[in-house]
Chain A
Amino acid sequence: MMSKLELKEDKMLEVQFVGDDDVLNHILDREGGAKLKKERAQLLVNTKKIIKKPEYDLEEDDQEVLKDQNYVDVLGRDIQESLKNGSAADGGNKVYSFQNRKHSEKMAKLASELAKTPRKNVSFSLKNDPEIMINIPQCSKGHSASDKVQLKNSDKSEFLSTAPSGLRKRLIVPRSHSDSESEYSASNSEDDDGVAQEYEEDTNEVILSQKIPSQNRAISAPICKETPSKKMKRDKTSDLVEEYFEAHSSSKVLTSDRTLQKLKRAKLDQQTLRNLLSKVSPSFSAELKQLNQQYEQLFYKWMLQLRLGFNIVLYGLGSKRDLLERFRTTVLQDSIHVVINGFFPGISVKSILNSITEEALDHAGTFRSVLDQLDWIVNRLKEDSSLELFLLIHNLDSQMLRGDKSQQIIGQLSSLHNIYLIASIDHLNAPLMWDHAKQSLYNWLWYETTTYSPYTEETSYENSLLVKQSGSLPLSSLTHVLRSLTPNARGIFRLLIKYQLDNQDNPSYLGFSFQDFYQQCREAFLVNSDLTLRAQLTEFRDHKLLRTKKGTDGVEYLLIPVDNGTLSDFLEKEEEES
């Protein structure tokens, strides 16, 4: 030991092993714990003490609680000394909190509430509004700790929400014991209990108004529910984790059945969408301008840092395309640079490398593989160190580029000392693309540039949800094509449509197997042989009315690649006509 000590004698700072607790602590801090105050931790501990009191004397549980308390103490400590993290100001804890299941009508209610009080800050908490609660008693199903986290913005639960689920579970252990034999397992927030109560006593105004506060409920709640029923157990999810799995199990989600079809406004095409949006006058333009100016001041700093071997990645809400474009026009005019639109659906690493080799480096030859090409670029740039190349990648995290191989190659490119990469990312989970190895290749410096600009260009290529997709067949063309067919062919197609519509609720529906289809067609006297049917199907396929897929068992399945709404409309129309 002595020799070891001597070895260390002139070391000032020791690196030491850290336990899980500290790591947790640190993570908490990292995830925007900046806002958390020590008192919050205190609060949590206090409630724990209250919970601990009740009459049951299970020592192990007490022990457990004590342990939890320590754990919580650890979690709470040191948090206030965390450093200012600009983006975390809103309390990043909420980011990772759990969500509860909500009734579908809630959204509309919330909207109407918002609409009722224009120009005023409206709390999104529906639960503060007793009337609504009465109207939809089945809502109670979902109210749980997390709900409170979001809506009541209680300090305490903010903490709860960040704690790992294991801890949460442990925290509730004592209380579930208080219910002795009953199978009912208590839910983990006083709020929930409040709801439970409310359910029991059938929408009682008094209790509802009590509901809005506070921690004290924790004491009263366990006493109140002596006669929990089985039904209630189902109604109230006992644990957030279970809740999660319940929500994500295969069971149906309750949403309204309304479809856009019935709505007058159907999908718009890209052009009309643009025209319409151009009429909207942007709000907060002064503030947005200020934000942008703030970022523009960084341009030279970015250049400096790029030149010194870092690469820059921009993140934050809003399109960063304009910003990068301005960066390009202000500082990059005199150097070779490549702008890469990651959001372009046809982009690939191959095309990026091609434009580097062919256009930027004037190389005429072709390459056998992407890796060869990469090697060539690397060698070329190593040979000629006066050669400098700037890469601007909009949406490095796009569908086409987010693959592991693409990222590896771009990372390798960016690690060259005379390639400078400045990129933007938008996707929520974009940083997951990079493991440690890739991150060290990229050598990122992160810059937050929240612009709030609309992602006009980025979403214009995307086959967006509500934008009319040119690939799918609208009703009119469907009718048009079928008009030109023989009655038998129409009959065949109708058979297929009907079968598909019958199976539309079947999630495992693969398609109509060819043999069965042939059988049915024969029975309907539509075809007389396998061959005629196949010929007919080929014609459908040519008109993009049919797709065939081989199942795992080798059977051929037939599918109409048109959405079911259009198909049923088509059938209705056909019936009207005939």
Chain B
Amino acid sequence: MATSSVSKGCFVFKPNFKKRKISVPVEDYFNKGKNESEDSKLRYETYHLIWQQMKSETEQLQEELNKNLFDSLTEFLQKSYSGFQKNSRDWGCQIKLREIPTAALILGVNVTDHDLTFRSLTEALQNNVTPYVVSLQAKDCPDIKHFLQKLASQLMDCCVDEESKEGSIQVAQKKTHCSMDSLSSWYMNVTQKTDSKMPRKKRTSTSQWQSPPVVLILKDMESFTTKVLQDFIIISSQHLHEFPLILIFGIATSPIIIHRLLPHAVSSLLCIELFQSLSCKEHLTTVLDKLLLTTQFPFKLSEKVLQILTNIFLYHDFSIQNFIKGLQLSLLEHFYSQPLSVLCCNLPEAKRRINFLSDNQCENIRRLPSFRRYVEKQASEKQVALLTNERFLKIRELYCTCLEKNIRDSEEYVSALQLLRMLAKDDLMTILQKCFQVFKSSSEKQLGSTAKRIEEFLAQFQSLDEAKEEEDTSGSQSKGLQKTDLYHLQKSLLEMKELRRTSKKQTRFEVLREKVVNFIDSLVREYLLPPETQPLHEVVYFSAAHTLREHLNAAPRIALHTALNNPYYYLKNEALKSEEGCIPNVAPDICIAYKLHLECSRLINLVDWSEAFATVVTAAEKMDANSITSEERNEIIHARFIRAVSELELLGFIKPTKQKTDHVARLTWGGC
């Protein structure tokens, strides 16, 4: 069936029913279209496993991070709601009754992450406060009518979920006109019904009040129209005594926006409390900690990749979602493109897998550049052995993974080290103690001696009880250092050393501290070698930074420009080779037309353009003029020109204009 038609634009293809049932499992795509398909199934499974773990880890993380916020929100809701309950006749309360309790939730600019937060918030509220939680988005509510309709329909949906699905009548109601009156009468109905329905049994925390409040979340407060918001607030404040509403504003910018959107008369109807969510930067730090800087996940990112991901985060969107997407992509790419990634799993499993390595896989290992380098460093007879003896290879391999683990282990100390430089004595001691604990707990034999040394240092510190007050200075000096990462660490350490030398009078404490730090520094130098220098780092490190960038942060404009300006980049034909800024006249038509149009200003005369084009193309064609008449040739060239022009129009470089007959307007200013 063809997919082009002059009468329709959508074409549906359905395979025969029988065929459709055979759905291809995803892992099959993992090896298809590739030569080396070794262990692809295993690799896919490993990928799947690790990704699932990472995903659940991040979700858990998110939950934990939001816990504080949600707790305080819940508390606020409960507190403000108790105001509704105490139906006292007291005048102050009467005034307060006119105010809608409002929580202003400041979430930061990473709009894409908000959805997740709101989803879990809704869940949390439904579990702890009230079944009636409704969230609205600005794009659903262009006016107050739609606003109320949406509110009503969602509210009733909440209710349907609560009661056994008998609410098909309500669907009809959905379409009918909604007003605050109808809403509050509906609310009366429902609350009375539930009261009678579950008299004492189901009085869990969910329905600890006879009439639970209605929580309305406005996800993107900034984009609501002022009028809708104002009207809604005024109307609902009138009905507050019968329709206990609580508002939650999701704010991406700053709380001032409330007052900018709402005049004083309206905002005075609200009783606003501010809540601040965790900043996305902090969030990212935790994510990095939990996903990358642990031994839990064998998969690691190389420096460049990590840089790209953090750069996208910092410069483009501040979005954790996107960061995690990038992580997923790199994980996928790693397992997809690196056959040895099959060994990228936890240690015992890797050991097991090593034993089953095929000849082919061993060959793969031998081909790894890092392994080559490693082999070259060894003595010559060893080299032979390494390259020939498979068993030997396996042992080395194992050792290598252990080594990797070591690095990871000690990575945790690095941050401590950073801080050591700047810390006062007390902190130093506690940290040392902690280090000691970690060292002790780790079973690696290489680290045994270090634990002992640290113990010694600790003892020395204890003896040094006279207080040294130089702490402040050193603290301030090192503040700048806080913000480095693993890869800048070495550099910063050197800097610090120089700083030390310049400061003359050193207290005993400082001398000691210096010692400790030097010790740890040497430790770091020993174990924290850059991963690239380790043999077989390819197994666990993903380093194809450019693929990641290409797929996540593409530059379509540049691609277009390159294709038009320098066709040789794509079409490796010698005839197209040219210096920069030039184009050979045999280039594709659209490139020539594009180049010519660059010479023009705002308007382009089509006749001139066409003639210029014809001149170039005719010269390029060494056509034997005998075969076709020149008239026909001209016709063809004209047709080619028309095609090139309409393609440029499609691409958005030019557009037709009425300013002058047979002219087109350029839409780009500059080289593109």
Give the interface centre of A111, A440, A459 by most chain B CB atoms within 10 Å.
Answer: A111
Q: Given that A8-B415, A88-B555, A462-B646 are known contacts, is A336 also in contact with B598, CB under 8 Å in the complex?
A: no
Task: Judge whether A347 is part of the interface by a CB distance below 8 angstroms.
Answer: yes
Bound CA span A306–B659, Å: 46
Say yes or no: A253 contacts B601, CB within 8 Å. yes
A92 touches B558 (CB 8 A): yes
Q: Which of B294-320 contact A (CB under 8 A)?
A: 304, 306, 308, 310-311, 313-315, 317, 319
The yes or no answer to B321 lying at the interface (CB within 8 A) is yes
Beyond A10-B416, A426-B650, whether A99 also contacts B293 by CB under 8 A is no
Offer 25 A-B interface pairs, CB within 8 angstroms, sorted by A: A8-B419, A11-B285, A18-B315, A31-B555, A32-B555, A83-B308, A88-B555, A92-B555, A96-B672, A107-B608, A108-B612, A112-B615, A114-B616, A115-B585, A124-B599, A125-B581, A150-B671, A255-B604, A268-B639, A268-B642, A273-B643, A277-B643, A338-B12, A344-B8, A467-B642
Which of A221-229, A449-457, A476-484 lies at the interface with chain B? A449-457
Interface residues of B in 315-356 (CB under 8 A from A): 315, 317, 319, 321-322, 325, 328-329, 332, 336
B234 to chain A, nearest CB (A): 27
B-contact bits for A324-347, CB 8 A (1 contact / 0 none): 010010001111111111101011
Closest A residue, CB atoms, query B16:
A334
Instruction: State whether A265 and B606 are in contact (beta carbons under 8 Å apart), knowing that A12-B293, A340-B9, A428-B668 are contacts in the complex.
Output: no
Of B122-130, B179-187, B357-365, B478-486, the one contacting chain A is B478-486
Inter-chain contact B23/A446, CB cutoff 8 Å = no
**Chain A residue with minimal CB distance to B583?**
A124
- Contact at A427–B651, with CB atoms within 8 Å? yes
A352 at the interface (CB under 8 A from B): yes
Contact at B415–A316, with CB atoms within 8 Å?
Answer: no
Known: A12-B289, A95-B557, A301-B336. A339 touches B601 (CB 8 A): no
Interface stretch, picked from A278-286, A518-526, A541-549, is A278-286
A465 with B556: CB separation less than 8 A: no
The reply to whether B640 and A280 form a contact with Cβ atoms under 8 Å apart is yes
Which residues of the partner chain A approach B14 to less than 8 Å between Cβ atoms? 336, 359-360
Cβ distance A415 to chain B, nearest Cβ, rounded Å: 10
Known: A84-B546, A123-B581, A315-B556. A247 touches B563 (CB 8 A): no
Contacts of A495 in B (CB 8 A): none
- Say whether B486 contacts A12, CB under 8 Å: yes
Q: How far is the CA of A447 from the CA of B325 in the complex (A)?
A: 16
- Do B599 and A110 touch (CB < 8 A)? yes
Q: Is A102 an interface residue (CB 8 A)?
A: yes
Q: How far is the CB of A437 from chain B (nearest CB, A)?
A: 6
Choose among A253, A287, A318 the residue that contacts B572 (Cβ–Cβ < 8 A): A287
| Contact across chains for A9 and B652 when beta carbons are under 8 A apart | no
The residues of B that contact A83 with a CB separation of less than 8 Å are 304, 308, 545-546, 549
Which of these, B29, B315, B620, B649, contacts A303 with CB under 8 Å?
B29
Tell me the minimal C-beta distance from B347 to chain A in angstroms.
Answer: 21
Interface members, chain B 654-670 (any A CB < 8 Å):
656, 659-664, 667-670
**Residue A341 contacts which of B3, B286, B310, B575 (CB distance < 8 angstroms)?**
B3
- Shortest A192–chain B CB gap in Å is 17
CA A459 to CA B589, docked complex, whole Å: 15
Q: How far is A455 from B558 in the complex, measured between Cα atoms in Å?
A: 19
B73 adjacent to chain A (CB < 8 Å)? no
How far does the alpha carbon of A65 sit from the alpha carbon of B205 in the complex, in Å? 69
- Which of B93-101, B382-390, B630-638 lies at the interface? B630-638
Q: Count B interface residues, CB 8 Å.
A: 165
> Beyond A334-B19, A426-B651, A452-B570, is A437–B111 a contact (Cβ under 8 Å)?
yes
| B424 CB contacts on chain A under 8 angstroms | 2
Contact B646 A465 (CB under 8 A): yes
A18 to chain B, nearest CB (A): 6
B418 nearest CB across to chain A (Å): 9
Please give the distance in Å from B40's CB to the nearest CB on chain A. Answer: 11
Contact (Cβ within 8 A) A90 B11: no
Q: Are the C-beta atoms of B571 and A452 separated by less than 8 Å?
A: yes
> Is B112 within 8 A of A99, CB to CB?
no
- Chain B nearest CB from A103 CB (Å) reads 8
How long is the Cα–Cα vector from A428 to B424 in the complex, in angstroms?
57
Report yes or no: B563 in contact with A317, Cβ–Cβ below 8 A. Answer: yes
Answer whether residue B584 sits at the interface, using C-beta atoms and an 8 A cutoff.
Answer: yes
Contacting residues of chain B (419-439) with chain A, CB-CB under 8 angstroms: 419, 422-424, 427, 431
Does A89 make an interface contact (CB < 8 A)? Answer: yes
A336 contacts B616, CB within 8 Å? no
CB distance from B620 to the nearest CB of A (A): 6
0 or 1 for each of A251-294: is its CB under 8 Å from B? (1 = yes):
00111101111110100100011001101100110111011000
- Choose the segment among A22-30, A173-181, A196-204 that binds chain B (4+ C-beta atoms closer than 8 Å): A22-30
In the complex, are the beta carbons of A258 and B608 less than 8 A apart?
yes
> Does A218 belong to the interface (CB within 8 Å)?
no
For the complex formed, measure the closest distance between the CB of A539 and the CB atoms of chain B, giving whole angstroms.
27
Instruction: Tell me, in angstroms, the Cα distance from A344 to B588 when the chains sit together.
Output: 26
Whether the pair B12, A317 counts as a contact (CB closer than 8 A) is: no
Q: A98-B670, A347-B9, A436-B111 are in contact. Are A297 and B552 (CB under 8 A)?
A: no
Q: Contact: B670 with A263, CB < 8 Å?
A: no
Residues on the A chain within 8 Å of B651, using CB: 317, 426-428
A111 touches B616 (CB 8 A): yes
Number of interface residues of A (CB under 8 A): 165
Nearest chain A CB to B337 CB, angstrom units: 9
Do residues A565 and B661 form an inter-chain contact, with CB atoms below 8 A?
Answer: yes
Instruction: Judge whether A12 and B671 touch: CB under 8 Å.
Output: no
CB distance from A438 to the nearest CB of B (A): 10
Q: With CB as the reference atom, state the residue of chain B lying closest to A354.
A: B10
Q: Give the distance to chain B from A58, nearest Cβ to Cβ, in Å.
A: 32
Enumerate the 10 nearest inter-chain pairs by beta-carbon distance, A residue then B residue, closest first: A344-B9, A446-B554, A115-B619, A111-B612, A317-B563, A276-B639, A300-B33, A347-B9, A440-B112, A304-B29
Question: Within 8 Å of chain A (Cβ to Cβ): is B457?
Answer: no
Q: Which of B181-240 contact A (CB under 8 A)?
A: none
Contact of A13 among B285, B559, B659 (CB under 8 A): B285
Q: What residues on A are CB-neighbors of B588 within 8 Å? A: 283-284, 452
Q: Which residues of B contact A108 (CB under 8 A)?
A: 608, 611-612, 615
B382 → chain A closest CB, angstroms: 35
Q: Contacts A255-B663, A360-B12: A315 and B554 contacting too (C-beta < 8 A)?
A: yes
Chain A residues near B597 (CB-CB < 8 A): 107
B165: interface (CB < 8 Å): no
A121 at the interface (CB under 8 A from B): yes
Residues of B contacting A447 in the complex (Cβ-Cβ under 8 angstroms): 550-551
A256:B608 contact, CB within 8 angstroms: yes
Query: In the complex, which residue of chain A has the Cβ closest to the Cβ of B281?
Result: A15
Whether B596 and A111, one on each chain, are in contact in the complex, defined by CB atoms closer than 8 angstroms, is yes
In whole Å, how far is B10's beta carbon from the nearest beta carbon of chain A?
A: 4
Question: Are the CB atoms of B612 and A110 closer together than 8 Å?
Answer: yes
Known: A99-B598, A108-B611, A440-B322. A297 touches B33 (CB 8 A): yes
Kindly provide the distance from the CB of A280 to the nearest chain B CB, expressed in whole angstroms.
Answer: 6
Distance between A261 CB and nearest chain B CB, rounded to angstroms: 8
* B652 in contact with A87 (CB, 8 Å): no
Which residues of A from 501 to 531 have beta carbons under 8 Å from B?
Answer: 507
Which residue from B9, B545, B570, B672 sits with its C-beta under 8 Å from A95? B672
The answer to whether A26 touches B670 (Cβ under 8 A) is no
Name A316's contact: one of B475, B559, B664 (CB within 8 Å).
B559
**Chain A contacts with B in 91-140, Cβ cutoff 8 A:** 91-92, 94-99, 101-102, 104, 106-108, 110-112, 114-116, 118-125
